[in-house]
Amino acid sequence: MATKYKRILLKLSGESLMGDREFGIDHQRLARYANEIKQVIDEGVSVGIVIGGGNIFRGIQQVDGAIDRVQGDYMGMLATMINSMALQSSLESIGVITRLQSAIKMEQIAEPFIKRRAVRHLEKNRVVIFGAGTGNPYFTTDTAASLRAIEINADVILKGTRVDGIYTADPEKDPNAKKYENITYQQCIDEDLNIMDMTAFTLCKENELPIVVFDMDSGGNLLKVVKGEKVGTLVS
């Protein structure tokens, strides 16, 4: 069966990478994600990836003022590099060819982000992992994912997370929240649905880039989404 999407930008949650741990990376979870990604590579899909840093550091979490916001945000961007390197190793250990590009120069460990180079890698069926977010403070990796998806001309952003779609309210806080099957960008913005940040929704809306939010922890889900099966919530 042909896949619905030929080129995807997969956004993975840093926080989900913790598994049942309180901090850092759960290696079984990491290996599981790598295997899920390999399944879609084997279908000939071109894959770019952005991974968050919430399992290690978020700039905004510094409430006592000990670390200023901009410094904290750079620390968060570095956290995404740690996750990106871990994912790169995990993918390579199962034979997936990857390249890591960073929005902040760190030549010993990653290529600098160069859009044309990224596209060339994708054309050669290499997975490209985009680290260090947008390279700018006051943003998030959701916005970085939207930006990179537009730049590489992806057909869709697939936000793999630990909830199975977008709800009327955060389902981890409100047991009465109801799931949307389909929703518009504007509705997400108007209803302030915090599954992604508003900058990311706005960027996707302006560029007509669809988003699918789905549960990455349910085995086989990524492949199902790529094949066009009804999984998660579609934002368009």
Ligand X SMILES: O=c1ccn([C@@H]2O[C@H](COP(=O)(O)O)[C@@H](O)[C@H]2O)c(=O)[nH]1
Ligand Y SMILES: Nc1ncnc2c1ncn2[C@@H]1O[C@H](COP(=O)(O)OP(=O)(O)OP(=O)(O)O)[C@@H](O)[C@H]1O
Question: How many angstroms separate the CA atoms of 186 and 209, rounded?
Answer: 13
Instruction: Scan residues 167-206 and list those touching ligand Y (CB under 6 A).
Output: 167, 169-172, 193-195
Q: Does 143 bind ligand Y (CB under 6 A)?
A: no
**96 or 144, CB closer to ligand X?**
144
With CA atoms as reference, report the closest residue to 168 among 188, 197, 184: 188
CA distances from 116 to 10, 27, 113, 146, 152 (A): 19, 32, 9, 17, 8
Rank residues 122 and 196 by Cβ distance to ligand X and give the closer one: 196
Closest to 154 measured CA to CA, from 182, 132, 127: 127
Q: Is 185 annotated as a binding residue?
A: no
- Which residue in the set 140, 146, 221, 233 belongs to the binding site for ligand X (CB under 6 A)? 140
Interface with ligand X includes 139 (CB under 6 A)?
A: yes
Question: 13 or 84, CB closer to ligand Y?
Answer: 13
Name the binder of 71 from ligand X, ligand Y, none, CB < 5-8 A by kind. none
Query: What does the alpha-carbon distance between residue 116 and residue 125 come to, in Å, rounded to a whole number?
Result: 15
Q: How far apart are the first and last CA of the chain?
A: 24
Q: Near ligand Y by CB under 6 A, which window of 9-17, 67-75, 110-118, 204-212?
A: 9-17
Tell which one of 17, 18, 29, 58 touches ligand X (CB under 6 A): 58
Distances (CA, A) of 6 to 79, 113, 129, 137: 29, 22, 17, 31
Q: Of 142, 125, 33, whose CA–CA distance to 88 is shortest?
A: 33
By the rule CB under 6 A, 185 interacts with ligand X = no
Least distance from ligand X to the Cβ atom of residue 79, Å: 6
Residue 14, classed as helix, strand or coil, is coil
Question: Applying CB under 6 A, does 137 fall inside the site for ligand X?
Answer: yes
Taken as a whole, the chain contains a residue count of 236
The token pair that represents 37 in the structure block: 């990604």
CA distance 44 to 234: 23
Residue 81 binding: pick among ligand X, ligand Y, none (C-beta 5-8 Å cut-off by kind): none
CB of 1 to ligand X, least distance (A): 33
Q: Which residues are near ligand X by CB under 6 A? A: 14, 52-54, 58-60, 72-73, 76-77, 79-80, 133-134, 136-137, 139-142, 144
Q: Which residues are annotated as a binding site for UMP?
A: 53, 73, 134-141
Q: Binding-site residues, please?
A: 11-14, 53-54, 58, 73, 134-141, 161, 167, 170
What residue numbers does the annotated binding site for ATP cover? 11-14, 54, 58, 161, 167, 170
